Structure 1
Amino acid sequence: MGDGSGAADGAEAIHALVAEGAEAEETRTGASLTAEGIRHTAFAMHKGGYSPDQVDAALERLEDAFAARERDQATRDGGERAWMVDAEGTAEVIVARLSRPPGYRFTRTSVLAVGYKRVDVDRLANKLVKYFQDGRELTVDEVRTAVFRPERGGYREAQVDLVLDSVVDVMLAVR
Protein backbone atom coordinates (compact mmCIF):
# COMPACT_ATOMS: atom_id res chain seq x y z
CA MET A 1 0.00 0.00 0.00
CA GLY A 2 3.00 2.24 -0.21
CA ASP A 3 1.74 3.84 -3.43
CA GLY A 4 -1.03 5.71 -1.57
CA SER A 5 -3.76 4.26 -3.79
CA GLY A 6 -6.23 3.34 -1.11
CA ALA A 7 -4.53 4.86 1.88
CA ALA A 8 -6.68 6.14 4.70
CA ASP A 9 -7.57 9.80 4.73
CA GLY A 10 -7.25 9.95 8.48
CA ALA A 11 -5.05 12.68 9.96
CA GLU A 12 -7.83 15.28 9.90
CA ALA A 13 -10.24 12.69 11.24
CA ILE A 14 -7.84 11.83 14.07
CA HIS A 15 -7.55 15.51 14.96
CA ALA A 16 -11.36 15.81 14.87
CA LEU A 17 -11.68 12.71 17.06
CA VAL A 18 -9.30 14.09 19.67
CA ALA A 19 -10.91 17.54 19.51
CA GLU A 20 -14.35 15.97 19.96
CA GLY A 21 -13.13 14.05 22.99
CA ALA A 22 -11.45 17.11 24.48
CA GLU A 23 -14.59 19.20 23.94
CA ALA A 24 -16.78 16.56 25.56
CA GLU A 25 -14.30 16.35 28.43
CA GLU A 26 -14.33 20.11 28.91
CA THR A 27 -18.07 20.61 28.68
CA ARG A 28 -19.18 17.24 30.09
CA THR A 29 -22.05 17.43 27.60
CA GLY A 30 -21.13 14.36 25.56
CA ALA A 31 -19.59 10.99 26.01
CA SER A 32 -15.89 11.36 26.58
CA LEU A 33 -13.41 9.75 24.28
CA THR A 34 -12.09 6.44 25.61
CA ALA A 35 -9.30 4.03 24.75
CA GLU A 36 -11.92 1.55 23.60
CA GLY A 37 -13.59 4.17 21.42
CA ILE A 38 -10.27 4.94 19.79
CA ARG A 39 -9.63 1.22 19.22
CA HIS A 40 -12.90 0.93 17.30
CA THR A 41 -12.35 4.03 15.18
CA ALA A 42 -12.18 3.43 11.44
CA PHE A 43 -11.79 5.74 8.49
CA ALA A 44 -12.84 5.42 4.87
CA MET A 45 -10.16 4.65 2.33
CA HIS A 46 -9.41 7.30 -0.29
CA LYS A 47 -7.00 7.27 -3.19
CA GLY A 48 -4.07 9.52 -2.37
CA GLY A 49 -4.97 9.55 1.32
CA TYR A 50 -2.78 8.89 4.33
CA SER A 51 -0.92 5.65 4.89
CA PRO A 52 -3.10 3.18 6.82
CA ASP A 53 -0.02 1.99 8.75
CA GLN A 54 0.76 5.53 9.91
CA VAL A 55 -2.87 6.22 10.84
CA ASP A 56 -3.07 2.92 12.72
CA ALA A 57 0.17 3.72 14.57
CA ALA A 58 -1.17 7.15 15.55
CA LEU A 59 -4.44 5.62 16.77
CA GLU A 60 -2.53 3.01 18.78
CA ARG A 61 -0.48 5.75 20.46
CA LEU A 62 -3.69 7.62 21.25
CA GLU A 63 -5.29 4.47 22.62
CA ASP A 64 -2.27 3.85 24.84
CA ALA A 65 -2.36 7.43 26.14
CA PHE A 66 -6.09 7.32 26.84
CA ALA A 67 -5.77 3.92 28.54
CA ALA A 68 -3.07 5.34 30.82
CA ARG A 69 -5.28 8.34 31.58
CA GLU A 70 -8.25 6.08 32.35
CA ARG A 71 -6.09 3.90 34.61
CA ASP A 72 -4.78 6.97 36.45
CA GLN A 73 -8.31 8.31 36.96
CA ALA A 74 -9.64 4.95 38.11
CA THR A 75 -6.81 4.47 40.59
CA ARG A 76 -7.40 7.97 41.98
CA ASP A 77 -11.11 7.17 42.36
CA GLY A 78 -10.98 3.59 43.62
CA GLY A 79 -7.38 2.82 44.38
CA GLU A 80 -4.69 0.80 42.66
CA ARG A 81 -5.81 -2.47 44.26
CA ALA A 82 -9.40 -2.14 42.99
CA TRP A 83 -8.09 -1.45 39.48
CA MET A 84 -5.87 -4.53 39.57
CA VAL A 85 -8.62 -6.74 41.02
CA ASP A 86 -10.87 -5.73 38.11
CA ALA A 87 -8.12 -6.46 35.57
CA GLU A 88 -7.35 -9.80 37.22
CA GLY A 89 -11.04 -10.75 37.14
CA THR A 90 -11.23 -10.00 33.43
CA ALA A 91 -8.01 -11.96 32.83
CA GLU A 92 -9.48 -14.98 34.64
CA VAL A 93 -12.56 -14.93 32.39
CA ILE A 94 -10.33 -14.67 29.31
CA VAL A 95 -8.10 -17.56 30.41
CA ALA A 96 -11.14 -19.73 31.13
CA ARG A 97 -12.40 -19.13 27.59
CA LEU A 98 -9.02 -19.62 25.93
CA SER A 99 -8.20 -22.76 27.95
CA ARG A 100 -10.99 -24.71 26.28
CA PRO A 101 -9.87 -27.48 23.92
CA PRO A 102 -8.57 -26.35 20.52
CA GLY A 103 -11.36 -26.10 17.99
CA TYR A 104 -13.93 -25.43 20.73
CA ARG A 105 -12.85 -22.09 22.17
CA PHE A 106 -15.44 -20.04 20.30
CA THR A 107 -18.75 -20.58 18.54
CA ARG A 108 -18.31 -21.72 14.97
CA THR A 109 -20.03 -20.43 11.86
CA SER A 110 -22.09 -22.79 9.73
CA VAL A 111 -20.28 -24.78 7.06
CA LEU A 112 -21.69 -22.32 4.52
CA ALA A 113 -20.35 -19.24 6.30
CA VAL A 114 -16.77 -18.03 6.62
CA GLY A 115 -15.16 -17.31 9.96
CA TYR A 116 -11.66 -17.12 11.37
CA LYS A 117 -9.52 -20.20 10.77
CA ARG A 118 -9.67 -22.16 14.01
CA VAL A 119 -6.03 -23.27 14.01
CA ASP A 120 -4.85 -19.65 13.63
CA VAL A 121 -7.02 -18.42 16.50
CA ASP A 122 -6.09 -21.40 18.66
CA ARG A 123 -2.38 -20.68 18.09
CA LEU A 124 -2.83 -17.12 19.40
CA ALA A 125 -5.07 -18.40 22.23
CA ASN A 126 -2.26 -20.71 23.39
CA LYS A 127 0.16 -17.77 23.45
CA LEU A 128 -2.34 -15.67 25.39
CA VAL A 129 -2.88 -18.37 28.02
CA LYS A 130 0.90 -18.60 28.48
CA TYR A 131 1.07 -14.80 28.74
CA PHE A 132 -1.58 -14.68 31.47
CA GLN A 133 -0.58 -17.82 33.37
CA ASP A 134 3.18 -17.99 32.94
CA GLY A 135 4.15 -14.41 32.19
CA ARG A 136 5.25 -15.30 28.65
CA GLU A 137 6.49 -12.30 26.67
CA LEU A 138 3.73 -10.91 24.43
CA THR A 139 3.08 -7.36 23.33
CA VAL A 140 -0.20 -5.58 22.93
CA ASP A 141 0.77 -4.93 19.31
CA GLU A 142 0.96 -8.68 18.66
CA VAL A 143 -2.66 -8.93 19.76
CA ARG A 144 -3.77 -5.78 17.94
CA THR A 145 -2.24 -6.90 14.66
CA ALA A 146 -3.24 -10.57 14.78
CA VAL A 147 -4.56 -11.75 11.43
CA PHE A 148 -6.52 -14.95 10.89
CA ARG A 149 -7.11 -16.69 7.61
CA PRO A 150 -10.72 -17.28 6.55
CA GLU A 151 -12.27 -20.73 6.90
CA ARG A 152 -15.74 -22.14 6.24
CA GLY A 153 -17.11 -23.28 9.58
CA GLY A 154 -14.45 -21.23 11.36
CA TYR A 155 -14.80 -19.32 14.60
CA ARG A 156 -17.30 -16.45 14.66
CA GLU A 157 -15.31 -13.30 14.02
CA ALA A 158 -17.32 -11.01 16.31
CA GLN A 159 -16.84 -13.33 19.28
CA VAL A 160 -13.09 -13.67 18.73
CA ASP A 161 -12.73 -9.91 18.23
CA LEU A 162 -14.61 -9.19 21.46
CA VAL A 163 -12.29 -11.45 23.47
CA LEU A 164 -9.21 -9.92 21.83
CA ASP A 165 -10.52 -6.44 22.70
CA SER A 166 -10.76 -7.58 26.32
CA VAL A 167 -7.20 -8.92 26.13
CA VAL A 168 -5.99 -5.52 24.89
CA ASP A 169 -7.91 -3.80 27.72
CA VAL A 170 -6.23 -6.01 30.33
CA MET A 171 -2.78 -5.65 28.79
CA LEU A 172 -3.12 -1.85 28.76
CA ALA A 173 -4.50 -1.89 32.31
CA VAL A 174 -1.48 -3.63 33.77
CA ARG A 175 1.23 -1.80 31.85
Structure 2
Amino acid sequence: MCPRPSGAPSPADRFPRCAEHEWGYDPVPVEQLLDAVAATLRGAREQPVTGAQVRAAAFDRARGGYRPRAVDEALDAAEDALAAAERERFLAAHGAEAWQRHLEELAAAVRGRLERPRTRRFRRPSRSRATGYSAAHVDVLCERVAARLEGSGEVGAQAVRRAVFPAARGERCYEEQQVDAFLDRVVQLLLALE
Protein backbone atom coordinates (compact mmCIF):
# COMPACT_ATOMS: atom_id res chain seq x y z
CA MET A 1 0.00 0.00 0.00
CA CYS A 2 1.34 3.42 -0.93
CA PRO A 3 1.34 6.11 1.74
CA ARG A 4 -0.93 9.10 1.26
CA PRO A 5 0.98 11.88 -0.52
CA SER A 6 1.70 14.76 1.81
CA GLY A 7 -1.20 17.22 1.82
CA ALA A 8 -3.53 14.99 -0.21
CA PRO A 9 -6.91 14.03 1.22
CA SER A 10 -7.62 10.39 1.92
CA PRO A 11 -10.87 9.04 0.47
CA ALA A 12 -12.65 9.63 3.81
CA ASP A 13 -11.41 13.22 4.24
CA ARG A 14 -13.67 16.14 3.39
CA PHE A 15 -10.75 18.54 3.15
CA PRO A 16 -7.15 18.55 2.04
CA ARG A 17 -4.68 17.88 4.80
CA CYS A 18 -1.52 19.65 5.78
CA ALA A 19 1.77 17.86 5.35
CA GLU A 20 2.58 15.55 8.26
CA HIS A 21 4.98 18.11 9.78
CA GLU A 22 2.53 21.04 9.44
CA TRP A 23 -0.20 22.05 11.84
CA GLY A 24 -3.82 22.02 10.74
CA TYR A 25 -7.22 21.62 12.35
CA ASP A 26 -7.91 18.40 14.21
CA PRO A 27 -10.24 16.55 11.80
CA VAL A 28 -12.44 14.89 14.45
CA PRO A 29 -14.12 18.02 15.89
CA VAL A 30 -14.33 19.54 12.41
CA GLU A 31 -16.22 16.48 11.18
CA GLN A 32 -18.44 16.46 14.28
CA LEU A 33 -19.42 20.09 13.79
CA LEU A 34 -20.10 19.71 10.08
CA ASP A 35 -22.14 16.55 10.70
CA ALA A 36 -24.19 18.48 13.28
CA VAL A 37 -24.69 21.32 10.78
CA ALA A 38 -25.85 18.86 8.12
CA ALA A 39 -28.27 17.25 10.58
CA THR A 40 -29.59 20.68 11.54
CA LEU A 41 -30.18 21.60 7.92
CA ARG A 42 -32.04 18.30 7.41
CA GLY A 43 -34.16 19.05 10.50
CA ALA A 44 -32.80 15.97 12.24
CA ARG A 45 -31.50 17.60 15.45
CA GLU A 46 -33.48 18.46 18.55
CA GLN A 47 -31.01 21.21 19.39
CA PRO A 48 -30.15 22.87 16.07
CA VAL A 49 -26.68 24.23 15.54
CA THR A 50 -26.77 28.00 15.05
CA GLY A 51 -24.73 30.26 12.85
CA ALA A 52 -23.30 31.86 15.99
CA GLN A 53 -22.03 28.47 17.16
CA VAL A 54 -20.35 27.87 13.82
CA ARG A 55 -18.84 31.37 13.88
CA ALA A 56 -17.46 30.77 17.38
CA ALA A 57 -16.05 27.32 16.61
CA ALA A 58 -12.38 26.82 17.41
CA PHE A 59 -10.44 23.66 16.76
CA ASP A 60 -7.38 22.13 18.33
CA ARG A 61 -4.35 21.91 16.12
CA ALA A 62 -3.04 18.59 14.86
CA ARG A 63 -0.03 17.72 12.75
CA GLY A 64 -1.22 16.66 9.33
CA GLY A 65 -4.68 17.99 10.14
CA TYR A 66 -7.15 19.64 7.81
CA ARG A 67 -5.98 22.75 6.01
CA PRO A 68 -7.52 25.69 7.90
CA ARG A 69 -8.42 27.75 4.84
CA ALA A 70 -10.49 24.93 3.33
CA VAL A 71 -12.30 24.30 6.62
CA ASP A 72 -12.90 28.01 7.20
CA GLU A 73 -14.47 28.36 3.75
CA ALA A 74 -16.76 25.41 4.46
CA LEU A 75 -17.70 26.89 7.83
CA ASP A 76 -18.57 30.20 6.17
CA ALA A 77 -20.84 28.35 3.73
CA ALA A 78 -22.36 26.40 6.63
CA GLU A 79 -23.03 29.61 8.53
CA ASP A 80 -24.68 31.11 5.44
CA ALA A 81 -26.91 28.04 5.07
CA LEU A 82 -27.79 28.07 8.76
CA ALA A 83 -28.65 31.77 8.62
CA ALA A 84 -31.02 31.12 5.72
CA ALA A 85 -32.59 28.18 7.57
CA GLU A 86 -32.91 30.21 10.78
CA ARG A 87 -34.61 32.99 8.82
CA GLU A 88 -37.05 30.52 7.26
CA ARG A 89 -37.86 28.96 10.64
CA PHE A 90 -38.38 32.39 12.18
CA LEU A 91 -40.63 33.50 9.32
CA ALA A 92 -42.68 30.31 9.52
CA ALA A 93 -43.10 30.63 13.27
CA HIS A 94 -43.56 34.39 13.66
CA GLY A 95 -44.25 35.95 10.27
CA ALA A 96 -42.70 38.65 8.14
CA GLU A 97 -43.60 41.55 10.43
CA ALA A 98 -41.85 39.95 13.39
CA TRP A 99 -38.82 39.26 11.18
CA GLN A 100 -38.73 42.90 10.14
CA ARG A 101 -38.91 44.00 13.79
CA HIS A 102 -36.09 41.58 14.62
CA LEU A 103 -33.94 43.06 11.85
CA GLU A 104 -34.72 46.60 12.96
CA GLU A 105 -33.73 45.79 16.55
CA LEU A 106 -30.50 44.18 15.44
CA ALA A 107 -29.72 47.06 13.08
CA ALA A 108 -30.44 49.59 15.84
CA ALA A 109 -27.99 47.85 18.17
CA VAL A 110 -25.32 47.83 15.46
CA ARG A 111 -25.98 51.44 14.43
CA GLY A 112 -25.79 52.59 18.04
CA ARG A 113 -22.19 51.43 18.21
CA LEU A 114 -21.35 52.73 14.73
CA GLU A 115 -22.63 56.22 15.55
CA ARG A 116 -20.10 56.65 18.34
CA PRO A 117 -17.11 58.86 17.51
CA ARG A 118 -13.97 57.39 15.96
CA THR A 119 -11.57 55.96 18.55
CA ARG A 120 -14.43 55.82 21.10
CA ARG A 121 -16.58 53.02 19.72
CA PHE A 122 -15.26 50.34 22.07
CA ARG A 123 -13.58 49.99 25.45
CA ARG A 124 -9.86 50.18 25.89
CA PRO A 125 -8.13 47.22 27.56
CA SER A 126 -8.30 47.55 31.34
CA ARG A 127 -4.52 47.33 31.71
CA SER A 128 -2.59 50.21 30.19
CA ARG A 129 0.16 47.99 28.73
CA ALA A 130 -2.25 45.40 27.32
CA THR A 131 -2.55 44.96 23.59
CA GLY A 132 -5.76 45.07 21.63
CA TYR A 133 -6.99 45.71 18.11
CA SER A 134 -5.82 48.88 16.41
CA ALA A 135 -8.64 51.38 16.95
CA ALA A 136 -7.92 53.08 13.63
CA HIS A 137 -8.26 49.83 11.68
CA VAL A 138 -11.40 48.76 13.54
CA ASP A 139 -12.91 52.18 12.90
CA VAL A 140 -12.27 51.84 9.15
CA LEU A 141 -14.23 48.59 9.10
CA CYS A 142 -16.98 50.18 11.20
CA GLU A 143 -17.27 53.00 8.68
CA ARG A 144 -17.56 50.48 5.84
CA VAL A 145 -20.33 48.68 7.74
CA ALA A 146 -22.11 51.99 8.40
CA ALA A 147 -21.94 52.81 4.69
CA ARG A 148 -23.43 49.40 3.86
CA LEU A 149 -26.31 49.94 6.27
CA GLU A 150 -26.94 53.35 4.72
CA GLY A 151 -27.04 51.78 1.26
CA SER A 152 -23.83 53.27 -0.11
CA GLY A 153 -21.34 50.53 0.74
CA GLU A 154 -20.75 46.97 -0.31
CA VAL A 155 -19.07 45.30 2.65
CA GLY A 156 -20.54 41.85 3.24
CA ALA A 157 -20.50 39.23 5.92
CA GLN A 158 -17.49 37.53 4.34
CA ALA A 159 -15.34 40.67 4.60
CA VAL A 160 -16.32 41.15 8.23
CA ARG A 161 -15.58 37.50 9.02
CA ARG A 162 -12.15 37.78 7.45
CA ALA A 163 -11.21 41.11 9.03
CA VAL A 164 -7.82 41.07 10.71
CA PHE A 165 -6.59 44.00 12.76
CA PRO A 166 -3.03 44.82 13.72
CA ALA A 167 -2.20 44.90 17.40
CA ALA A 168 -1.85 48.19 19.24
CA ARG A 169 -1.40 49.32 22.85
CA GLY A 170 -2.87 51.89 25.17
CA GLU A 171 -5.12 54.60 23.78
CA ARG A 172 -4.57 53.36 20.23
CA CYS A 173 -6.40 50.07 20.77
CA TYR A 174 -9.78 48.56 21.52
CA GLU A 175 -10.52 45.58 23.74
CA GLU A 176 -10.58 42.54 21.47
CA GLN A 177 -13.49 40.68 23.09
CA GLN A 178 -15.84 43.63 22.77
CA VAL A 179 -14.93 44.18 19.12
CA ASP A 180 -15.33 40.47 18.37
CA ALA A 181 -18.77 40.36 20.01
CA PHE A 182 -19.86 43.39 17.99
CA LEU A 183 -18.56 41.91 14.75
CA ASP A 184 -20.54 38.74 15.45
CA ARG A 185 -23.68 40.89 15.55
CA VAL A 186 -22.65 42.63 12.35
CA VAL A 187 -22.19 39.29 10.59
CA GLN A 188 -25.57 38.14 11.88
CA LEU A 189 -27.20 41.30 10.55
CA LEU A 190 -25.46 41.21 7.18
CA LEU A 191 -26.38 37.57 6.67
CA ALA A 192 -30.00 38.41 7.47
CA LEU A 193 -29.94 41.25 4.95
CA GLU A 194 -28.28 39.24 2.15
The alignment's TM-score, normalised by the length of structure 2, stands at 0.81
Letter in 2 for 1:143: V
Following TM superposition, by how much is the alpha carbon of 1:38 offset from its aligned partner in structure 2, in angstroms? 0.9
Deviations 1:83-103 (A, max 9, x none): 122112111221121121111
Instruction: Say whether residues 1:19 and 2:26 are aligned partners.
Output: no
Identify unmatched segments of 5+ residues in structure 2: 1-16
Larger Rg: 2
Tell whether the 8 Å contact from 2:131 to 2:169 is kept in structure 1 after alignment: yes
Letter in 2 for 1:75: L
Ranges of 4+ aligned residues in structure 1 off by more than 2 Å:
12-15, 18-23, 25-28
Rounded to whole Å, the distance in 1 between the matches of 2:68 and 2:182 is 24
Q: How many residues align?
A: 170
Equivalent positions of 1:19-58 (< 5 A) are 19-20=35-36, 22=39, 26=44, 28=46, 31-58=47-74
Secondary structure class of the residue paired with 1:134: coil
> Aligned residue for 1:157?
176
Rounded to whole Å, the distance in 2 between the matches of 1:37 and 1:94 is 20
Deviations 1:26-58 (A, max 9, x none): 463xx3211111111111111211110001001
Residue identity over aligned pairs, in percent, reads 35
Rounded to whole Å, the distance in 2 between the matches of 1:73 and 1:126 is 32
Letter in 2 for 1:129: A
Secondary structure class of the residue paired with 2:62: strand
> Aligned residue for 1:105?
121
Give the structure with the higher percent helix.
1
Rounded to whole Å, the distance in 2 between the matches of 1:74 and 1:15 is 27
Secondary structure class of the residue paired with 2:174: coil
Tell whether the 8 Å contact from 1:6 to 1:49 is kept in structure 2 after alignment: yes
Q: CA RMSD in A?
A: 1.9
Following TM superposition, by how much is the alpha carbon of 1:3 offset from its aligned partner in structure 2, in angstroms? 5.9
Letter in 2 for 1:174: L
The alignment's TM-score, normalised by the length of structure 1, stands at 0.89
Instruction: Say whether residues 1:61 and 2:84 are aligned partners.
Output: no
